[in-house]
Amino acid sequence: MTPAAPTTFPTRFYRDPEWSRGMAAPLKRFVKGPTEPGPAEWDSVSASLMKTDTVGADLAAAIKARTVSMKQFHRALAEGVEALDNAPEPLRHFFTQLENRPDWVDEDLLNRGATVVRQCGRNGIDVITIGLLSGYRASATTDILVRTGGLRGSGTARRIGETASWWFECIQPGGLDRSAAGWQLTAHVRLMHAMVNQHFEAVDDWDEAAWGKPINQADLAGTYHLFCTSFLLMLRLLGMRIGSEDGYAVMHLWRYIGWLTGVDEELLGHDEQHARRKLFHLTLATPAGDHNSPLLADSLIESRKHLNFGAYPELARRYEYVRFRSLASFYLGLNGMRELGLRPVFPWYPIGRGLRNLLVFSLFRALPGGDRRLTALGERELDGVMRKFWGKEKPTLASDRYSGHR
């Protein structure tokens, strides 16, 4: 039965119900109780396609109007807005909003959530990257991704590395303190999203009646769920023992990060069950893939050959390529791989890695001091993965090219 929806919404909304219900079906098995959206929930999802981050939008508009400069933004980001004499009001408002933590934020839960994510080691980066790949099955954001140019060709590895760098800094101890790199990178990402939205809203060929706002609340929320809701489910499928309390801590961490990035609070998950239901509703409204989907998928798969390796680099790159395809086949299945124009292969890596994860997590959870050792092991793996992305380079984020000036 098709839920009722408001009379005005982008045509992408629930455009391909047979496909989207098939896409959402695996998630439905993990949701307790009713899954179908009620009228108010369906209205919320459809309306979110026409909503943007207003706080970020105000600052982006001021930068476009040249009443705020990127130099001022970067100084306020690093030193605080009070470091500027007579800081422009849009800049002051942006940082005041982000610095005013919601009352529900719990510092202990943030720290535990970050620790649990670090314990996952390379598994965490793997499932996030596979989540990005799986997201290309839908056409919700593929046009934007192709137009911005960073997720095709040789630039793919760098863009994935930029995302990994932001994620890596957010999960460091104290990474979301105001002065920490995780918080500052998140604020930077929020402004870049607003600038991209502003840019594409202004171009003549953006079809808002079909797609809604270029960077809308529904798609922002879908990305947020990739880093927590899907993340936890995918890790458990890979043999990782993450209990309900630790899962709640991870959800709390990303609820705060989602808030910092400008996702409406009503779209954020309070706990895993609440978040799974939210994600199920968003997935139902998602349109099937388009001609851009295989292009993006192929670029992401091929990007594994552009990472940095030490000894025997050609052999290592070949191994990474076949390892990742094996992992993709495990999570996407035959239908998902074929939708993206990828040839399925036997999932040898996730089988072996899953057994390893199950053994390691079970052993360390049972030993005195095991939690600390598990964290150290995960951190060593993450350091190795980050070296593969950046080598001897310093990690960066995308440039401010949509600001119109520096």
Half-sphere exposure of 134 (CA within 13 A, CB side): 27
Whether the per-residue pLDDT at 61 is higher than 90: the answer is yes
Cα dihedral: 365, 29, 271, 220 (round 10): 120
Using left for φ > 0, alpha for ψ between -120 and 50, and beta otherwise, residue 153 falls in left
Residue 178 backbone dihedrals phi, psi, to 5 degrees: -55, -35
Residue closest to 118 by CA, chosen among 179, 182, 177: 182
Tokens of 230: 């899907």
Phi and psi (nearest 5°) for 288?
Answer: -65, 170
1 pLDDT more than 60: no
Separation CA 8–CA 26 (nearest Å): 30
- What's the mean pLDDT in 237-264? 97
What's the rounded mean pLDDT across residues 71-75?
97
45: enclosing H helix or E strand: helix 39-48
Percent of the chain with pLDDT over 70: 94
| pLDDT for 88 beyond 50 | yes
CB atoms within 10 A of CB 43: 16
Is the pLDDT score of 151 beyond 70?
A: no
Query: Per-residue pLDDT for 241 more than 90?
Result: yes
Residue 99 covered by a domain: no
Are 165 and 397 in contact by the 8 Å Cβ rule? The answer is yes
**Residue 237 falls inside a structural domain:** yes
* pLDDT of 168 above 70: yes
Confidence of residue 155 (pLDDT cuts 50, 70, 90): confident
| pLDDT of amino acid 150 | 63
- Tens digit of pLDDT for each residue in 255-271? 999 999 999 999 999 99
**Per-residue pLDDT at 186 exceeds 70:** yes
Q: What is the pLDDT of residue 311?
A: 83
pLDDT bin (cut points 50, 70, 90) of residue 153 is: low
Per-residue pLDDT band for 397 (boundaries 50, 70, 90) equals: low
Q: What's the CA dihedral at 176, 95, 167, 376 to 10 degrees?
A: -20
Query: What pLDDT score was predicted for residue 395?
Result: 66
| Residue 137: closest CA among 361, 397, 328, 403 | 328
**What does the pLDDT average to over 282-299?**
96
Q: Give per-residue pLDDT as tens, 110-130.
A: 999 999 999 999 999 999 999
Which candidate, 129, 128, 123, places its Cα nearest to that of 157?
Answer: 129
pLDDT at 133 over 70: yes
Cβ neighbors of 162 (< 8 A, separation 6 or more) are: 395, 396, 397, 398
More confident residue, 398 or 279: 279
**In this structure, is residue 198 part of a structural domain?**
yes
- The single-letter code of the amino acid at 173 is P
Query: 336-352 pLDDT, tens per residue?
Result: 999 999 999 999 999 99
Is 209 within the bounds of a domain? yes
What pLDDT does 4 receive? 47
Task: pLDDT band for 398, please (50, 70, 90 cuts).
Answer: low
Neighbours of 189 (CB within 10 A): 20
pLDDT at residue 99 in the model: 97
Helices and strands per DSSP (H, E), number in the chain: 19, 0
Per cent of the chain over pLDDT 90 is 87
Report the domain count for the chain: 1
What's the pLDDT score for residue 35?
A: 93
- pTM score above 0.75: yes
pLDDT of residue 330 exceeding 50, the answer is: yes
- In-domain check, residue 38: no
Q: Is residue 195, in this structure, part of any structural domain at all? A: yes
Burial of 266 per CB tally in 10 Å (0-12, 13-18, 19+)? exposed
Domain of 259 in residue numbering reads as 107-400
Stretch 374-385: mean pLDDT: 96
Q: Is residue 248 over pLDDT 70? A: yes
- Of 49-53, 137-141, 389-393, minimum mean pLDDT range: 389-393
Q: For residue 55, which of 282, 203, 256, 259 has the smallest C-alpha distance? A: 259
Residue 399 reports pLDDT greater than 60: no
- The whole-number pLDDT of residue 390 equals 86
Domain contains 59: no
Q: Determine, yes or no, domain membership for 275.
A: yes
Helix (H) or strand (E) holding 292: helix 292-303
CA distance linking residue 363 with residue 370, whole number of Å:
8
